[in-house]
Structure 1
Amino acid sequence: MPEPRPLPHNEYVTAVIDALTAASLEPVEFWLSGGETKGTYCYLNAVITLDPSNTFDRDDADVPAGTPWRHGLLLSWEWHTGLEDGAPEKGPLWEFAELKADGSIEYPTSLPVHGYASPAAIVEAARKVIDHSIGPGYSFNLGQPRWDGGLIGGSWERADELDAACEAWGAEEGAE
């Protein structure tokens, strides 16, 4: 049986994780995947869990009331081949959400970064989410952050290469 081919976003997500770790925001867990939704569209994603309050593994009763990020902060990156007449839109998107006790989330909110944001931009945006400079969106349909500072940082220096690899992956997956 042949080994599965590497996903096109492996190196990008590794660079983001390395930057988060170097900034003392080491992820407690992460995963990457790629797939398709019954022939409708293909997607790639990465999910990174941060533990800003160092309470991720504690029982709920052991975490003082009012502790921010008591169950962790989720950063997610998704890339979609898109739909011609509906969501999700084509291309990449970074989002964040606060984890709940059961591991679920509510109201994922777009991070104000480029879809192929530089790892440094993700670190800066994560810090702004942690300190509540960027807040979650209140409209489930819009998911726009409470933030008036514009886009944070620039794109990853290999964004064009990553975009081409994602497009090639999507074309190949869609043809299968």
Structure 2
Amino acid sequence: MQPHDPYINAVCDALTEVDGLEPTDQTWTSDAETRGTYCYLDAVITLDPSGTRNLDDDEIPAGTPWRHGLILIWEWHTGLEDDIERGPVWQFAELKRDGSNEYPTSLPVHGYASPAAIVEAARKVIGHEIKPGHSHNFGRPGWAGGIIGDSWEHADELEAACAAWEKTGA
């Protein structure tokens, strides 16, 4: 079990309660990803808001959004990398036909966002209120709504679990 599993499970449960946002079986958590020589915790939640992810391209009507799905990405970094701050971030990206994804865009939520905040942000992404390539962190235009929602009620426990993992597993 990963230290962030209870949090990601709570987010998945909240998404499951919303019609069209139920995570697919391609959702996972890990502590094995690396950038250079530094480990970090991560999770990917795969959504299929158009219900077309498993169809062939010729079966998907023209103009269908999120043709191959949408991923929500959560990462917790140790801060040892030169260009990445310590702590959690949420991002999203559109999936491509081959299973790869577009370059991730920051979600305008707290790193330890409440599950309800993730649901609201996902709805805004699906509805194109928050667009790929726009980021509240990098000052690009596109989302002027500020941070969505609040932090998870168990954020302190999650931070402590991530910090303990950093000392023993990173």
**Match runs of 1:25-36 below 5 Å:** 25-28=21-24, 29-35=26-32
What amino acid is the match of 1:59? D
Name the residue aligned to 2:129: 133
Query: Residues 98 and 106 of structure 1 are in contact (CA less than 8 Å); yes or no, is this contact kept in structure 2?
Result: yes
Name the residue aligned to 1:3: none
SS of alignment partner, residue 137 of structure 1:
coil
Deviations 1:34-57 (A, max 9, x none): 026388322111001101100011
2:95, 2:139 → 1: CA distance? 16
Q: Which runs of 5+ in 1 are unaligned?
A: 1-5
SS of alignment partner, residue 43 of structure 1:
strand
Name the residue aligned to 1:101: 97
Paired residue for 2:111, among 109, 112, 115?
A: 115
2:33, 2:64 → 1: CA distance? 38
Name the residue aligned to 1:71: 68
Greater CA radius of gyration, 1 or 2? 1
Measured after TM superposition, the shift of residue 138 of structure 1 is 5.7
What amino acid is the match of 1:129? V
What amino acid is the match of 1:42? C
How many residues are treated as equivalent by the alignment? 167
What TM-score, normalized by structure 2, do the two folds share? 0.91
Name the residue aligned to 1:42: 39
Residues 171/53 of structure 1: CA separation in 2 closer, same or farther (3 Å cut): same
Paired residue for 2:17, among 19, 22, 28?
A: 22
Measured after TM superposition, the shift of residue 83 of structure 1 is 1.8
Calculate percent identity across the aligned residue pairs.
Answer: 68
Measured after TM superposition, the shift of residue 26 of structure 1 is 0.3
Measured after TM superposition, the shift of residue 171 of structure 1 is 1.0
Q: Which runs of 5+ in 2 are unaligned?
A: none
